[in-house]
Amino acid sequence: MRPTSLGIIGLGAIGGSLARQAKRAGIATVVGWSPEPAERAAAAQQGALDDAPYHARDVVRDADLVVLAAPPLANLELLERLAPAFAARTLITDTGSVKRGIVARAEALGLGPRFAGSHPLAGTHGRGFEASRGDLFQNAVVYITPAAGGERAAGEIAHFWETVAGAHPVTLDAARHDAQLAVTSHLPQVIASLLGVFLARHAPPGASFGPGARDTTRLAASTPALWSEILLLNRDELLPALRALEEPLGELERALETGDAGTLTAWLDRGRVWRRGLDS
């Protein structure tokens, strides 16, 4: 679909970028809401929005498509609160990085045929509308997770991301999405934080860190409150992944303990081959 009227709830880096990109793509009416009056004002002043009303329900009332771009727990609550205000024709999606909960909530609210989850793989370093960009989703993969009976809505929402945001939609079952993201995204986040927490306690004061340690811990600088929500929403997938790390960790420790250079080199090489493959 190419909406005539797009409603965006949440004007942070994700919602703000989508508003900018929709206006650039020529969407006639883009209306947005944030709990922060300053964010609403900035988005309207900078031409990312045609209107920024005081009440969230006034954003969704006449929208062809509503995008929930708040943090994941807020999206769950907003979906429930705004459901009575959606017009019968309105399609709804969200942008959170855990999908089973929001898809189940949409189904429970009877919105299944009009809802599909979205998860754009677009990294942002900053927070809030000031971190938004007019090309954030260009060429980014966006996972689309249909609700029961919502295959048609999922197709329309995938088409929206492709034609309006220049993204590459990939349709995926919500459960498969969450299992995959547990290892490809949530695990790297907690590993970077684990190393950060460890170094906060054990690194000698004034020690220098090279580019390697900086890159390995870069994700540790992510927003704790947001990531706490994400990790807890996906903990049933993340915890088994964390426990499965014990196997390669044990292999490493045994090779070090026994001074087994051949096994250690082969272990390191498995990681090297995988990582090189990521860039090829």
Please list every residue from 121 through 150 that binds its own copies, using CB under 8 A.
121-123, 141
How many other C-beta atoms lie within 10 A of the C-beta of residue 27? 20
Distance CA(145)–CA(171), nearest Å, equals: 6
Question: Considering only residues 54, 84, 210, 280, which one is a binding residue for its own copies as defined by CB under 8 A?
Answer: 210
Q: Which stretch binds its own copies (CB under 8 A): 85-93, 101-109, 130-138, 235-243?
A: 235-243
Q: Does 211 bind its own copies (CB under 8 A)?
A: yes
Distance CA(171)–CA(152), nearest Å, equals: 12
Least Å distance between CB 273 and its own copies? 7
The set of residues, in sequence order, having a beta carbon less than 8 Å from that of 247 and lying 6+ positions away, is: none
- Toward its own copies, which CB reaches closer, 37 or 271? 271
Q: Is 152 helix (H, G, I), strand (E, B) or coil?
A: helix
Q: Does 201 bind its own copies (CB under 8 A)?
A: yes
Helix 174-181 and helix 100-108, axial crossing angle in degrees, nearest 10:
160
In which residue are the tokens 């934080």 written? 193
Residues 253-272 that bind its own copies (CB under 8 A): 253, 256-257, 259, 261, 264-272
Number of residues that this document lists for the chain: 280
Q: Which stretch binds its own copies (CB under 8 A): 1-9, 20-28, 88-96, 239-247?
A: 239-247
Distance CA(58)–CA(56), nearest Å, equals: 5
Pairing mode of beta strands 29-33, 5-9: parallel
Q: Does 249 bind its own copies (CB under 8 A)?
A: yes
Count of residues in contact with its own copies, rule CB under 8 A = 85
Contact yes or no for 91/65 (Cβ under 8 A): yes
Q: Does 88 bind its own copies (CB under 8 A)?
A: no
Q: Does 242 bind its own copies (CB under 8 A)?
A: yes
Q: For residues 120, 122, 123 and 124, what is the CA-based torsion angle, rounded to 10 degrees? A: -100
Q: Which stretch binds its own copies (CB under 8 A): 2-10, 40-48, 74-82, 248-256?
A: 248-256
Question: How far apart, in Å, are the Cα atoms of 44 and each of 35, 105, 242?
Answer: 14, 31, 43
Q: Does 199 bind its own copies (CB under 8 A)?
A: yes
Binding mask 28-67 vs its own copies (x if CB under 8 A, - otherwise)?
----------------------------------------
Least Å distance between CB 126 and its own copies? 13
Q: Does 280 bind its own copies (CB under 8 A)?
A: no
Question: Considering only residues 26, 54, 88, 212, which one is a binding residue for its own copies as defined by CB under 8 A?
Answer: 212
Q: Does 175 bind its own copies (CB under 8 A)?
A: no
How many other C-beta atoms lie within 10 A of the C-beta of residue 155? 16
Q: Does 165 bind its own copies (CB under 8 A)?
A: no
